[in-house]
Amino acid sequence: MSVQPRVDLDTLPSYVAGRTVPDAIKLSSNESPGGPLPSVAKAIAAAASDVNRYPDNAVTQLSQRLADKVRLPVEQIAVGCGSVSLCQQLVQAMCAPGEEVVFAWRSFEAYPTVTQVAAAAQVRVPLDATLSHDLDAMLAAITPRTRLVFVCNPNNPTGTAVRRDTLARFLDAVPSNVLVALDEAYREYVTDPGVPDGLEFVRERGNVAVLRTFSKAYGLAGLRVGYLVGPEEITSAVKKVYVPFSVNALAQTAALACLDAEDELLARCTQTAAERERVRAQLCDLGYEIPESQANFVWLPLGERALEFFDHMLANKIVVRAFQGDGVRVTVSSPDENDQFLMAAATFPR
């Protein structure tokens, strides 16, 4: 007899990370193009001399700093090893086996995985014709077994964002015992004032949480740190299923250094948002249909030609993220890398 892992893991999709190809331009993981700011790199280097010590398991300093930033009590903050980890903790904290998690599809690839790992049931609700969340359909999908709803705003991978009134009406209708997690990994790139800051809803309601990350706008994808802002019952429950010490010391130090340099980092996001508009306009001129994006990537709804586009880009030493049958997601990077992408997009046979 051989060892027997859980049988249901056989059907678990493996997380497919953006590919890294030597010497190629990587536009597949929505990372920030610039390296860490000198002040952040210095803080990380200084913290390196203490790595024989365990990190602060309670993430005290960073949690307090985030609480000050969002102007809420520190009890309403939970820091995690990336917001992916917080997604998984949320499912574990909310759902008994078989209870339901509702999310849009296509959306963030981690939702199916974290739901299944926690032995909860996935309820996927197709995006609408504009590739946005269909909040009416998501509402209709809520049953007495539903415990958690993810709303990814702006949505990865389509870049579309739900507006304040639409979201408020949805939240009004969701039963008060169902938690709505607003995944705002790309919040810092939002330029449309009609797209709400989810924290507005955390302040007003007892069943809303917001997920944010240092991986994108703050450029710390390699260090793994994200946070959740929500009702205290939720943050306490999420902390119970936290893997001890998983937010490492370098990550805590680096996140604090990023908050010290926040203005500079947010200025980078403004540049990225401007590049996003330029890239989208040029793609539209080339004849591509590109939904408006509020994130640091654009979506090419190429359907069955997604892999062909991926291969074309790879031949041009550019790595993008393809979802065969749906489309291709391309990260907005530096002006130079974006130009190289646009040149290659112009030669894709259409």
Ligand X SMILES: *Cc1c(COP(=O)(O)O)cnc(C)c1O
Q: Which of 74, 121, 221, 241 binds ligand X (CB under 6 A)?
A: 221
User: If you count them, how many residues does the chain have?
Assistant: 350
CB 325 within 8 A of CB 303: yes
What residues contact 7, with CB distance under 8 A and at least 6 apart?
Answer: none
Looking at the Cβ atoms of 158 and 215, the one nearer to ligand X is 215
Tokens of residue 41, six digits: 């790199």
Amino acid letter, 98: G
Least distance (Å) between residue 29 CB and ligand X: 8
Tell me the C-alpha to C-alpha distance, in Å, between residue 127 and each of 131, 158, 161, 317. Answer: 5, 10, 12, 31
Least distance (Å) between residue 297 CB and ligand X: 9
* 3 state DSSP class of 249: helix
- DSSP, res 54: P
To the nearest 10 degrees (0 to 180), the angle between helices 335-346 and 262-285 is 20
Q: Does 117 bind ligand X (CB under 6 A)?
A: no
| Span near ligand X by CB under 6 A; candidates 212-220, 237-245, 255-263, 323-331 | 212-220
Q: Does 226 bind ligand X (CB under 6 A)?
A: yes
CA-based radius of gyration for the chain: 20
CB 60 within 8 A of CB 239: no
Tokens of residue 254, six digits: 């680096």
Within 33-92, which residues bind ligand X (CB under 6 A)?
82-84
Which of 186, 249, 260, 213 lies closest to 37 in space, CA to CA? Answer: 260
Least distance (Å) between residue 214 CB and ligand X: 7
Q: Which of 116, 213, 246, 331 binds ligand X (CB under 6 A)?
A: 213
Least distance (Å) between residue 185 CB and ligand X: 4
Q: Does 113 bind ligand X (CB under 6 A)?
A: no
Question: How many CB atoms are closer than 10 A to CB 321?
Answer: 24
Question: How many chain residues interact with ligand X (CB under 6 A)?
Answer: 14
Which of 229, 167, 228 lies closest to 195 in space, CA to CA? Answer: 167
Least distance (Å) between residue 72 CB and ligand X: 20
Looking at the Cβ atoms of 81 and 344, the one nearer to ligand X is 81
Which of 187, 233, 191 lies closest to 210 in space, CA to CA? Answer: 187
Q: Which of 116, 215, 253, 294 binds ligand X (CB under 6 A)?
A: 215
Least distance (Å) between residue 293 CB and ligand X: 13
Strand stretches in the chain, DSSP E: 25-26, 77-80, 100-105, 121-126, 146-152, 179-183, 208-213, 226-229, 297-300, 318-319, 321-323, 327-331
Binding mask 240-259 for ligand X (x = CB under 6 A): --------------------
Residue nearest to ligand X (CB): 82
Rounded to whole angstroms, how far apart are CA atoms 155 and 257? 28
Binding mask 160-199 for ligand X (x = CB under 6 A): -----------------------x-x--------------
Binding mask 145-164 for ligand X (x = CB under 6 A): -------x---x--------
Least distance (Å) between residue 82 CB and ligand X: 3
Binding site for ligand X (CB under 6 A): 30, 82-84, 108, 152, 156, 183, 185, 213, 215-216, 221, 226
